[in-house]
Structures are given as structure tokens and as C-alpha cells.
Structure 1
Amino acid sequence: MEIVLSKIISDIKRMEDKLSSKMLKTVDEAYQMLLYLQELLYTVKTKVLQTGFVNGAQEIDFFKNIKPQIMGKLIYYNKVFRIEIACPVSNGKLYNSYYESQLRKLKSEYIETICHEDFYRYYRAGRSDRDEVYFRLGQINYHDGLKSGVFEIDLGFSTYYDNKIARIIANELLYTYLVTKIDPENSPDSIIVDKNATKDISWTNSQNALIELIYAIYASASVSHGEISIRKLALIFQVLFKIPLNDIHHAFHRMKTRAGSRTAFLDQLKAALEEYMDKDLSY
């Protein structure tokens, strides 16, 4: 049996991009991803149960790297779906208050159930010396005082710790999602840069121009080799320039169908740079 991590990640990303291009509401996009990932997990599980693993290294790779990527995204999109269907309003103070409360709940869960565990430090340190214990089937040691969730897992398709990694991945994705939903300028939880160092920095062109730039960077895989979501990339620019971008997917769709150049801002950038280069040569 061979399941390649890079293919799993690229397949998931391709589905995310496909749904984003359809301009679905967040709740509908989350629901469609939930169905897709559930089917993907079932397909992978069937393959694993039918063929097994060639050796211990392949088994460890699957439960440490591959399954948590699928399960983590599945948990994440399920949480997004639940959050979105319960949101009382579409804007205003109550809207912000709702997402801030969800963010506080996420932080509390992280403190209570994740960050103080030895396994979390093991995983974060990138260690591999206990992989044989954590990521091989049938190695669960109940003397460790594990939480009751261990009795709910399928012991033929889980080592217990693969689920823990999945929840770490899901929580990190959910944190980014919630921060994005809150106005970056007013939210105390959205600081990823020093505000004092960037207080005089502002975006002075249009929002559409910034969205065009963000999508160009995303499409060219210029940040993190393309392993960053469009939402997270947009968040970085929102926080840096203290500007809300609202629904970037709808804005991007309008760009694709607008008259004239579809890359008006990038054309403008190219012309401005060439003019600057010509001016510099004249000195």
C-alpha cells in the first residue's frame, strides 16, 4: 500500500480551490468540504484495511503525517460549519462578539487539552524517537492515563496519537479562520506583527487592487511554496495594512469577468516599475 502525502495535500487543496471559485457561502463551502473529506477518509481507510503496510516506517508515516492531514481538515471544516450555522447576524458588534467568543473558546480548549501535554511538546519539537510507540497500531499504553476518547476510536485504524495531531492541525486552521472573521484592526487577537512598527503603514490603493495582488502571489506559489491558503494570505495583508477585505472570492470572480484587462493593477505595477527603472538609468 502506498499513499503519498503530497498527493493527498494537493488533492485537498484542489478541491478547496474548486469550491472557492464557485463563490459559495462559507457554510456551504465548509459543508461540501466536509462531505469530500469524509469520503476521502473512507477511501483511504478501506485501502489501509485491505492492503495493510509494507513495513513499520510506512505505518508510522501514515499515522504521523498522512491521516492527520485528512482528519485535521475534516474536524476543521465540521467546526466551521457548526460555527457558521449558529452565527446570529452577518455584521456589526454582535457579529464580532460572536466570533471573539468562539476564539476565546478555542484558546481555552487549547490550554486545557493540548499545550500542556508531553505529546504536544514531542510533536512540536519534531522528534521521532518515540514514533514506534505513538504511531504503530496496538501500542496504546493505558497506564499513561489516557483520556476517555481512546475508547471511542477504531483501534484497527488509529493509534490514538494520530487523532491528537489531527486536532492540533484543526485548531491551528480554526484559529486563522476566526481571526480572519474578526476585524483585524480592532481585534486584540489578530496581532501577527508589531503594531507600533506598522502604525504608519497603510494601503492607499483600492481594495480590489490589493485582492488582485494577493491572488497573484497565491497563484504563483511565491509564499511558503504555495502551501498557504488564500484566506491566510489575505489575513496577513489585512493585518499588515489594517484593512478589512470582506469577501475576496466574490471580488476575484468580478475581476475574472470584468471588461478590459483582468489584471489592471498588475499591469499598472509593471508599467510603474519599468518607468522607475528607466528613470534610474538616466541618472
Structure 2
Amino acid sequence: MKYSLDKILLEIHNKEDKILSQSKRLIDEAYEMTLYLQDLLGSVKKYLIEEGFKNDEEEIRFFRSIKPQILGKLIYYNKIYRIETTCPVSNGKMYYNYFSGQLANLKREYTEHLCNSDFYRYYRSGRTDRDDTYFKRGNINYHDGLNSIVFEIDPEFSTFFDYKTARIISNELLYTYLLTKINPDENPDVILQKPESSKDIFWTDTKNAIIELIYALYASGVISHGKIGIRKISLMFQILFRIPLGDLHHAFHRMKTRSGSRTSFLDQLKFSLEEYMDKDL
């Protein structure tokens, strides 16, 4: 197919990197990603309806791995936009209570609709023996008492369980996002409160660059003999440079799968240092 998993992920990652590098407000980032993913999903659907699948294996791979990545991210960014645009204040007790309530809602939804299902256990275990049932179209069993959304899906572009997979993906991303909102140590509004005397120190490269540096320091164990966690290292950098980094693990995952050099910033640091050394010769 034209839309391979690697190509889809690369397109999404490149778009996310481009938006994040522009240092926009989270609301703006979420809105732009929502529009982009909605358009991407529509393009994939149009192509699929016109071209179809070569075989069952290709169909299963699409509905198990490709479509849920697009739809899961779409649900995630749309939810962030909704949460951020209805947040009552920028900090304080009301702010904390608001995001704590959002986290409680997410946990309740997870308990009621995901974790106790046979499919959730199947997907989490990495099994593939029932993929023919879950990820091929035309196999919806209404005797299972499925969620009412099953009546709204397009049977030509969904097996219903691709939607369930997307919800699992989006919930995981939302969980991490909400944790950073209710944890004061990772709250950007707290992080950015610095003395006036240090406000001339700020990061001028991309967020991905500083995250790459943070993970390199963490992986090498050069800070506190490797006994300090990635979150504390991240917090130090966020305080020093007055930059909120958000979901580190999500960004790091994108680095692991991006094309070209996965350590482009570190490569540039090495080149710059060697070039600087050569000037003194």
C-alpha cells in the first residue's frame, strides 16, 4: 500500500517536530495537529476505498497498527484542545483541581470501558491469534454488547477494534499529559517562575534538541553518578532555561523512530566543538 506504517509515523513525527519547534502555545499546537491528523485520516480513507488491500495480511496490519496511530493521536490532540480551552485559570488550587478531575475522568473511563475487556488483555499481551476477528472488516459481533459508537462507524473503514486500539493509544498519551499538569514539579507555570537576574538565560534551539541532550546525559550517567532520574534532570533544564518540555517520553519515542540521524543535535554539537578547537590550532 501507499500508506505504510513507517511512512505514516514519519509524517506525523515530522509534523509534530515542526509545530513543537515553533514554540507555540499548547492550545495552538493541539489545534493545528488536530486539523492535520483529521486531513491525513481523510486522505488515507480515500486512498483505501479507491485502492483496497492486496491481501488479508495487509488489511490486518492497517487496522491494527496504521489507522489507530492516526486516530489515536487525533483523539489525543482534540482532547488536549478541549481541556486547555476550558481550563478556568493558569495556576493555583483551582487549576490543580481541574486537572485532577480530568485525570479522575480518564481513569474512570479506562476502568469502565477498557481494562476489563477481553480485547484489552488481548492487545496488551501482544497476541495475534485473533487478529482475523479483531482487525478484518465485517466481523463485528453485536451479541457482545458493544459500545453504541459501533453504529456510527463506517464498516468500509473500520473493524470497531481499530477504534478501541486508538482509544488505548490516546488514553496513554493523555495520562502522561495530565500527570505533568497536576505534578507541581513538572508544571510549566511553576517552572517558568524565575528571578529577574536569570531571565537573560534561555534556550534558543528546538525543544527536541534540549530533550536529546537531556536523554544523553541521563543515559551516560554523568549526573550524580547516574542516580538521578530523567524527570529531575529535565526539571533542572526547564528551570535553567525557562522552557516547558511537556511529554518527554513521547518526544523521545519520536526521536527513536525518526529518519536520518537519531542524534542530530549531538552530532551538531560534536561538529561545532571540533570546528572551534581547530580555530585555536
Give yes or no for TM over 0.5: yes
Aligned residue for 1:151? 151
Percent identity among equivalent residues? 51
**CA apart distance, 1:217:** 4.9
2:182 matched residue in structure 1: 182
**Change in CA separation of 1:216 and 1:54 when aligned onto 2, cut-off 3 Å:** same
The normalised TM-score by structure 1 is 0.70
Q: 1:136 to 1:247 in 2, by over 3 A?
A: same
**Which residue is equivalent to 2:244?**
248
- 1:153 is displaced (CA, Å) by 0.5
Instruction: Give the secondary-structure state (helix, strand or coil) at the position aligned to 1:248.
Output: coil
CA-based RMSD:
3.3
Residues 6 and 220 (structure 1 numbering): CA distance in 2 closer, same or farther, change over 3 Å? farther
**Separation in 2 of the partners of 1:213 and 1:77?**
18
- Give the TM-score normalised by structure 2: 0.71
Task: Answer yes or no: is the 8 Å Cα contact 2:37–2:73 preserved in 1.
Answer: yes
| CA displacement, residues 176-227 of structure 1 (integer Å, 9 cap, x when unaligned) | 111112235499xxxxxxxxxxxxxxxxxx9969x9998345279869xxxx
Equivalent in the alignment of 1:238: 231
Report the Cα distance in structure 1 between the residues aligned to 2:13 and 2:24, rounded to whole angstroms.
16
Q: Which has the higher contact order (CA 8 A, sep 6+)?
A: 2
The unaligned stretches of length 5 or more in structure 1 are: 188-205, 224-235, 250-261, 271-283
- The answer to whether the 8 A contact 1:115-1:121 is kept is yes
Superposition map of 1:127-206 within 5 A: 127-185=127-185
Moved more, 22-31 or 59-68: 22-31
- Aligned residue for 2:179, secondary structure, equals helix
Shift of 1:24: 1.1
CA separation of 1:28 and 1:212: change in aligned 2, threshold 3 A? closer
Contact 1:184 1:239 in 2 (8 A): no
On the 8 A contact 1:184/1:242 being kept in 2, the answer is no
Letter of the aligned partner of 1:248 in structure 2?
P
CA apart distance, 1:95? 1.2
**1:116 alignment partner in structure 2:** 116
| Pair 44,173 (structure 1): closer, same or farther in 2 beyond 3 Å | same
- Distance in 2 (CA, whole Å) between partners of 1:186 and 1:26 is 15
Question: What CA distance in whole angstroms lies between the structure 1 residues aligned with 2:85 and 2:16?
Answer: 20
5+ residue gaps, structure 2, are 188-198, 218-228, 246-264, 274-281
Q: CA deviation at 1:9?
A: 0.9
Shift of 1:133: 0.5
Aligned length: 224
* Runs ≥4 residues deviating over 2 A: 182-187, 206-209, 211-223, 236-249
**How far apart, in 1, do the equivalents of 2:244 and 2:233 lie?**
16
Matched ranges for 1:97-112 at <5 A: 97-112=97-112
Would the aligned equivalents of 2:20 and 2:207 in 1 still touch at CA under 8 Å? no
